[in-house]
Structure 1
Amino acid sequence: MKIILSGSLAYDRIMDFPELFSDHLLPDKLDEINISFMVNGVTENFGGTAGNIAYALKLMGGDPEISATIGFDHHRYFKWLQKNGISSEHIHIVEDEWTAGAYITTDRKDNQITGFNPGAMKYSSRLNFDTLDRDSLLVISPGNLEDMVEYPKKAKERDLKYIFDPGQALPMLQKEELLNCIDGCMLLMVNDYEMNLIQKKTGLAREEIIARSGSTIVTLGHEGSRLHNNGSAVKIPVFPGTKATDPTGAGDAYRGGLLSGLVEGKTLEESCILGSVCASFAVEHYGTQVYSFSREEFNTRLSLH
């Protein structure tokens, strides 16, 4: 099974502010803000939904293909992908834009101020559907909004299986667009907040939304996840690691582990368990594509199930 990951590639630049934002904000002057924060330094991580999922799937032994856009500053990211054995063949370079970037400043109580520049993500990844065979599985995750709306239509026209994973793009999707993407998808993946948002935007009950997709996975943070499949709901456990450092990227790690199971021909429930184990390694590290594990370490943690 060929896995194509449609989504985003981004540089995450994380800055540490040793004080509190609240000490520098005057409540009666919030309409006249002019503040400069002196940070301790900046850490740059490779991120974006497509990149994060591809990294996790590669760790699990998969061979993902990324369909995304990237800017003229792509050289560091391409070098990183090459180092990890991930192809950049289907990544579209937008020469007059920066790669999408998140600029995140965190104070000492973990409050965050984030600026996000979509950059190259404003453009379509130009996925050529004629190159995909019937055994391909397309994962549509947050990225270029036009791609998120159009790729499900093209997949259904060609009878291709796809996973719809709207994530943080949900607020920008209109009701009909959202329903068209969910209808006919092999799998809908959301967290509990996102499921509630879909209910609010569509006016449908949770059971009605679940009925419109082949299967649905609702992730529940530290409480694990729930798989809705063939009219039943199965609770997928969490796998506690040595420490919980940062949940950022755990959802993408879950997806990478899940996809590895599907490639291996495992059931959805078995694949969800692999996803949960993979996510447990991600939360042990600060950042997204910074964790790793050996097969022995993975299997040891899996055996706790």
Structure 2
Amino acid sequence: MSALICGSFAYDTIMVFHDKFKNHILPDKVHILNVAFHVPEMRREFGGCAGNIAYNLKLLGGDPLPMGTIGNDFGPYAEWMDACGVPRTHLKVIDETYTAQAFITTDMDDNQIIAFHPGAMDFAHHNQVGDAEDIRIGMVSPDGRDGMIEHATQFAEAGIPFIFDPGQGLPLFGGEDLKTFIDQASYVCVNDYEAELLQERTGLSPHEIAERVEALIITRGARGSEIYLPQHRIDIPAAPARELADPTGCGDAYRAGLLYGLMHDLDWEVTGRIAALMGAIKIESHGTQNHRFDRAGFEARYKESFGHALAW
């Protein structure tokens, strides 16, 4: 049985500006802004929420089945997925479009200027959950707005439990839309900023959201994470990271850990710790799909991080 992961696929082009934006942007001239930044460092990474989550779930030994829409430039990413053993069965090419792309320029103060082109992602609703077979659990992660709405409805109508992971797509939805997602989902996973926005737009507290789902998971970076169940809350400690290289994609790695635990009927204490360790391992590498580990190495890190052996 597989995890059907609905969400985006994207290329991330990351550039480093060896200075500070503030030295080149005059506040009183922003109405006629015309600047160019010399960026001697550049790399192109494979990304997108569905791609990242599927990659991490595969590392854990899980069975990911990503679903997304891609452009006619997807060739290099397709080769990478094949090399990683991640299936492309439910990736749909949208002719005459590019795969979604983010162009990220970072300065020496860690400020970022980002241009995002959604491309094929806006056609996510062309995929149907019903086209996939033998699905144990689903996920609705950031994607085209219509695709997120339709896939959540399709999971609910098919009786397939799923995680609602709005991520950076959360601002696309009003309070009533978000309440509908919550009522359709079995689980909701957000970071601390998204939790505040979710609460503001729905008027529901974390405990009230937890009463409408099986679990609400809130990640808080170095402060760990919280799993709200209908009757109580479980606090999950953060796993120590050996190096803080790049936080991009840590949330996706965490969510892969959640999927793995749910697919294998592990309790929340273990599931949350697996997810936390996935985030720590990811932050030690640049890019979202460049980290590696084997089962023995993961088990050793788990015991080192939490003081007891992993029974999975």
TM over 0.5: yes
| Aligned 8 A contact 1:71 1:119 in 2 | yes
Q: CA deviation at 1:269?
A: 2.7
AA of the residue aligned to 2:48:
G
Structure-1-length-normalised TM-score:
0.96
CA–CA separation in structure 1 for the residues paired with 2:212 and 2:107: 42
CA distance in 1, matches of 2:242, 2:208: 39
* Contact 2:137–2:263 under 8 Å retained in 1: no
Please give the alpha-carbon distance, in whole angstroms, between the structure 1 residues aligned to 2:49 and 2:144: 11
1:2 touches 1:64 (CA, 8 Å); kept in 2? yes
Deviation at 1:131, TM superposition (A): 4.0
Identity %: 39
What amino acid does structure 2 have at the position aligned with 1:162?
Answer: F
1:78 paired with 2:78, answer yes
- Report the counterpart of residue 310 of structure 2 in structure 1: none
**Kept after mapping to 2: 8 A contact 1:57/1:63:** yes
Query: 1:70–1:244: structure 2 CA closer, same or farther, 3 Å change rule?
Result: same
**Contact 2:207–2:230 at 8 Å: present in 1 too?**
no
Shift of 1:235: 0.7
User: Quick one: distance in 2 between partners of 1:147 and 1:226?
Assistant: 28
Q: Which moved more, 1:46-55 or 1:252-261?
A: 252-261
Corresponding position of 1:174: 174
* Letter of the structure 1 residue corresponding to residue 291 of structure 2: Y
- Aligned to 2:211, what secondary structure does the other structure show? helix
Task: Give the 5 Å matches for 1:193-232.
Answer: 193-232=193-232
Q: How many residues align?
A: 305
5 Å-filtered alignment, 1:1-305, equals 1-132=1-132, 136-304=136-304, 305=306
Hey, what's the Cα distance between the residues in 1 that align with 2:94 and 2:130?
A: 22
| Residue deviations 1:203-238 (CA, integer Å, cap 9, x gap) | 223322222222110001111100112411011111
- Structure 1: distance between partners of 2:134 and 2:228: 25
Matched-pair contact (CA < 8 Å) for 1:134–1:159: no
Q: Distance in 1 between matches of 2:158 and 2:58?
A: 27
**Which amino acid is the alignment partner of residue 136 of structure 1?**
R
Taking structure 1 as reference, are residues 235 and 223 closer, same or farther at Cα in structure 2, changes over 3 Å only? same
Q: 1:140: Cα distance to partner?
A: 0.3
Give me the whole-angstrom Cα distance separating, in 2, the residues matched to 1:132 and 1:18. Answer: 46
CA pair 134-181 structure 1, distance change in 2 beyond 3 A: farther
Equivalent residue letter for 2:211: A
After superposition, give the CA deviation of every residue in 1:75-132 in whole Å (9 maximum; x if it has no partner).
0010000000001110010111111000000111111111000011110253333345
Shift of the 133–31 alpha-carbon distance from structure 1 to 2, 3 Å rule, reads same
Letter in 1 for 2:15: M
Q: Residues 168-193 of structure 1, C-alpha deviation per residue, up to 9 Å, x if partnerless?
A: 11111122111111114111001111
Q: How many angstroms apart in 2 are the aligned matches of 1:142 and 1:107?
A: 26
- Whole-Å separation in 2 of the counterparts to 1:264 and 1:80: 27
| Counterpart residue identity of residue 265, structure 2 | G
CA separation in 2, counterparts of 1:91 and 1:121? 11
Q: How much does 1:133 deviate?
A: 5.4
SS at match of 1:143: coil
Structure 2 Cα separation of the partners of residues 232 and 203 of structure 1: 20
Describe the SS at the equivalent of 1:292. Answer: coil
Give the Cα–Cα distance (whole angstroms) in 2 for the partners of residues 109 and 70 of structure 1: 33
CA RMSD in angstroms comes to: 1.4
Q: Give the letter for the 1:79 counterpart.
A: E
Distance 2:69 2:259 in 1: 22
Counterpart Cα distance in 2 of 1:36 and 1:232: 52
Task: State the distance in 1 between where 2:94 and 2:268 align.
Answer: 37
Alignment CA distance shift 1:135-1:16 (3 Å): closer
Q: Which runs of 5+ in 2 are unaligned?
A: 307-312
Distance 1:73 1:135 in 2: 29
CA distance in structure 2 between the partners assigned to 1:29 and 1:241 by the alignment: 42
What's the CA shift for 1:2?
A: 1.6
